Amino acid sequence: MDIDTDTAINLDTAVDIDAGRLLRDLDELARFGGRPDGGVDRVAGSPADLASRAWLADRLAEAGLAARTDAAGNVFGQVPGARPWLLAGSHTDTVPAGGRLDGAYGVIAALEVLRTLHEHGHPAAGALEVVSFWDEEGAGPASAGGLAGSTAMCAGDHVRDLRAYLELHIEQGPRMERDGLELAVVEGIVGIERHQVVMRGAANHAGTTPMDERADAGRAAAVVAAAVPDRVLGVDPAMVVNVGHIEFLPGAPNVVPGEARLVVEWRGARDDSLLRAEKELSALAHDTAEALGCQGEIRAVSRKPPAVFDPGLCDLVARACRAAGGPAGRMHSFAGHDAGVLSAHVPTAMIFVPSAGGVSHSPLEHTPEPMLARGCRALLAAVAEAAGRGPAGTGGTGGTARPPRGEE
Ligand SMILES: [Zn+2]
C-alpha cells in the first residue's frame, strides 16, 4: 500500500471535478438505449447495456486508467498498477423506460472523481477503484432478481481487497426536495417485510344467510387491510406500509367469502420496529377474526433486514457534504441499492442528491445540473478524505457489518 496513512489529505481548490465533462458523459451514456421521450431502455444484458459497458471501459482507457470486466459482468476502473481498496460506483443498467440518472449518475461521478484525482497526480487516485455493477435492477426476463453484480462480487475474492464502498445516487423519492436538502448522508437501507394474512370463515349464500349468522372472511380481511396502516405507523411513524394484494375466495358477488388473503408489506430502518409491527399485525388479525367468527393466521412471506451503513464512514461523508457546500441531512433509503449488499462485507456509506418531484424509474427522472455537480464534489471530498486516512481509517474491515439474514 503506497498510501501514506498518517497524512490527512485536504482538497486544494485546484483539484476540482470538471462539471461540464461529468454532464457530457451523462448525456453520452444516456444515448445507449435512449428513448425519444428522454428515458432510457438499458435492461441488463441488452445490446444497449453491453454497448454502454464497452463505452465505459473506453472512457476509462481514454483517461489513462485500466479497465477490466469480471466474470459477472461488472466493469472496474483503476490507476494502472495501483492496489485500490476504496470502491465507488453504482450501476448502469436501467428498468424498462427508466431514467437517465438512476445508477448512471453514481458511476459517471465516480469516473469523474477518479479522472480528476489521476490528472492532478493526487495520491488518493491510487486508492480508488470505480465500478459499474451488473444487473442492479433485476428487470430482465432472465434476471435473478437484481443486485446480481454486487452479490457476485461479494461472493468472490475481490471483496477481500476492499476496505470501504461509497455510492452516490439520486434519492428516487420526494423527501429531500420537501426538506430543502441538496445532499444527504444515507445511513442505511430500510428492511422490507411481507406477511400474508389468511382469514377463514364459511362460504354461504349471500342472500339467504342472515347477517348475524355469517362467518365472512372477506369482511375480516377488509377490516385488517383498513386498520393495519395505522397500527404499523403507531409502532414507528418513520415506517411505510402497504396492502397491495387482497383476494376473496371463491370470489363471487353472491357468495359470502369463505376465505380471504391479503399481503401486507412494510419497510423500516429499525429491527425492533419491524418485529413490533409483526406483533401488531398478528394481534389485529386474531382480534378481527374472533370478532367476526373467523379464524385468522399470519405467515411471513419474506424478510429483508435493514442494511446498516458504517457510522464512521457516514460521519466522514457528512463532513464531505459540508465541504461541498450543500445543505445536507441524514436519511435512510427506502429503495434497495448495491450498497446494501456491500455493507454486509465492508464499511459502506451513500450520498443522495434530490430527485425533482420525487420521480424515478421514469423517463421524467431529473436532478438539476448544479446539484449533480455538487454531489460529485461531495464524493470527491469523501474519497480524498477516506484515502488520506488509509484503509484502517474508514471504519476497519467490517466491524459494524453483519452477515445478511436470508430471505424467508
Ligand atoms: Zn439505482
Measured torsion, CA atoms of residues 147, 148, 150, 154, in degrees rounded to the nearest 10: 120
Distance 330 CA to ligand 1 centre (A): 19
Query: Residue 387 sits in which domain range?
Result: 19-189+306-394
Which of 63, 108, 112, 117 shows the shortest CA–CA distance to 90? 108
Whether residue 5 has pLDDT greater than 70: no
- What SS3 state is found at 118? helix
For 381-405, how does the pLDDT look when each residue is reduced to its tens digit (9 = 90+)?
999 999 988 887 775 444 344 434 3
Mean pLDDT, residues 189-205 taken together = 97
Check residue 10 and give its pLDDT: 53
Are 310 and 240 within one domain? Answer: no
In 80-200, DSSP assigns E strands to 86-91, 128-133, 164-170, 183-189, 191-200
Calculate what percentage of the chain has a pLDDT beyond 70.
93
Distance 166 CA to ligand 1 centre (A): 13
Q: Which of 2-16, 273-287, 306-320 has the lowest mean pLDDT?
A: 2-16
> In this structure, is residue 297 part of a structural domain?
yes
Mean pLDDT, residues 191-208 taken together = 97
Are 182 and 34 within one domain? Answer: yes
Check residue 402 and give its pLDDT: 41
When comparing pLDDT for 280 and 139, which is higher?
280
Check residue 399 and give its pLDDT: 39
When comparing pLDDT for 181 and 5, which is higher?
181
Distance 342 CA to ligand 1 centre (A): 14
Are 175 and 313 within one domain? Answer: yes
Check residue 325 and give its pLDDT: 86
Whether residue 103 has pLDDT greater than 60: yes
Distance 349 CA to ligand 1 centre (A): 15
Distance 91 CA to ligand 1 centre (A): 6
Q: Which of 257, 280, 303 is the last residue of a domain?
A: 303
Distance 136 CA to ligand 1 centre (A): 7
Q: Could you list which residues have their CB under 5 Å from ion ligand 1?
A: 102-103
Distance 341 CA to ligand 1 centre (A): 13
In which region does residue 39 sit, left (phi positive, over 0), alpha (psi from -120 to 50) or beta (all else)?
A: beta
Are 65 and 208 within one domain? Answer: no
Mean pLDDT, residues 248-271 taken together = 97
Distance 340 CA to ligand 1 centre (A): 11
Residue 13: pLDDT band (50, 70, 90) is: low
Distance 326 CA to ligand 1 centre (A): 22
In 124-268, DSSP assigns E strands to 128-133, 164-170, 183-189, 191-200, 204-205, 240-249, 255-256, 259-268
Residue 327: pLDDT band (50, 70, 90) is: confident
Alpha carbon separation from 283 to 227, 290, 369 (Å, rounded): 12, 11, 49
Are 231 and 177 within one domain? Answer: no
Are 328 and 352 within one domain? Answer: yes
> In this structure, is residue 405 part of a structural domain?
no
Are 228 and 351 within one domain? Answer: no
For residue 180, the domain's CATH number is 3.40.630.10
> In this structure, is residue 9 part of a structural domain?
no
Check residue 392 and give its pLDDT: 77
Separation between Cα atoms, residue 325 and residue 322, nearest integer Å? 5
Residues in the chain: 408
Are 129 and 147 within one domain? Answer: yes
Which of 108, 97, 47 shows the shortest CA–CA distance to 365? 97
Whether residue 186 has pLDDT greater than 80: yes
Cell numbers found for residue 228: 393495519
Q: Which of 243, 270, 303 is the last residue of a domain?
A: 303
Check residue 11 and give its pLDDT: 52
For residue 240, the domain's CATH number is 3.30.70.360
Separation between Cα atoms, residue 75 and residue 86, nearest integer Å? 15
> In this structure, is residue 214 part of a structural domain?
yes
Number of domains in the chain: 2
- The answer to whether the CB of 149 falls within 8 A of the CB of 72 is yes
> In this structure, is residue 113 part of a structural domain?
yes
Mean pLDDT, residues 76-81 taken together = 98
User: Helices (DSSP H) in 1-137: which residue ranges?
Assistant: 19-30, 47-62, 104-119
Check residue 141 and give its pLDDT: 79
Q: Which of 287, 303, 319 is the last residue of a domain?
A: 303
Distance 50 CA to ligand 1 centre (A): 17
